[in-house]
Structure 1
Amino acid sequence: MGELTTEDTSAFHIAPWMHVTTGGGAPLDQLLPTSGRVHVARLSGKDMVDEVSTFQQFSESLKFPEYFGWNWDAFYDCLRDLEWLSSDYCIVIVESADEVLADDDDAREEFFSALWRAGKQRSYTKRPEGVTLSTISIVLSCSEKSSATFAGQLGERFKNR
């Protein structure tokens, strides 16, 4: 896990559940399930300037329950669960993802770690094919200029997790 693969310069695949794209998007066949109900959440990294604004965006778009604790552990717990959405699959698109929590390195680490861990938790290996599938896809969109560096940083950060 955590290997950086790319089919072209517009989409980098960090893991089966995490993709970095330049806005041209990752191919839909890699994001959408073959069947079932899908919930799509589209968020703006430019508006995630602090923890509160980050939690607010996710809480609104993913309809976090009232008991959401507004901390990183609760954030991860909600991402891992998502049962209240009544969907089989969830796609989270974060535009300008390279700008998320840009002035708070600790919170930024917590944020991407929670996304990674939730994706990993919601993944499974299909047998006998041995293909890893996930009930969540995290699409992190950023500028073409920063996409390779951003994807490389994420791949390096999570390669052994």
Structure 2
Amino acid sequence: MIKTRTLAAAAATALLALGVAAAPASAAPAPNGPTIASVQTITGSPDSTGTIGGSCPAPVGNGAPAAPYLCGTNPIRLDWTDGRFEYVLLGTDRRVWHTYQTTANGPWTNWDLFGDSSDVQNGVWFKDVYGTPSVVVTGSVGTRWCNSLNSSGTWTNWYHCPPAV
């Protein structure tokens, strides 16, 4: 079982009220705490009608399973120092999804929820939040939420990002 940070009940209630549920993110296996070597934003294309909000095929590579994502948003690819890749995207259901390799050049997991997020407004992006690699989203009321990589190489729960993010 992957250990994740838990949120106090009051914080969990606040997250639910703002459209982001407080549940642990599924995390790529992280033996010995590998870190992220690089991040690539994958530029997709709008659907055939040019409508933002439609379903676009995920432009993923490296043998990852294909999955639709919300048109007008850009998936991200995380390159881990142990040679694995991970893709994170905003699904057409406005929830954050991810897939990752279990070993370098190895098999991929099925697409799974990246924590329990709902009603994300404008895609996912990757940012260094005060020295901590983080996936960032904007919730239904415009509040930014972070899911950060902790020192053991696993993901935290969603939490309200610091004001500077």
In the superposition, the TM-score normalised over structure 2's length comes to: 0.27
Higher strand fraction (1 or 2)? 2
In the superposition, the TM-score normalised over structure 1's length comes to: 0.28
Q: Which has the higher contact order (CA 8 A, sep 6+)?
A: 1
Higher helix fraction (1 or 2)? 1
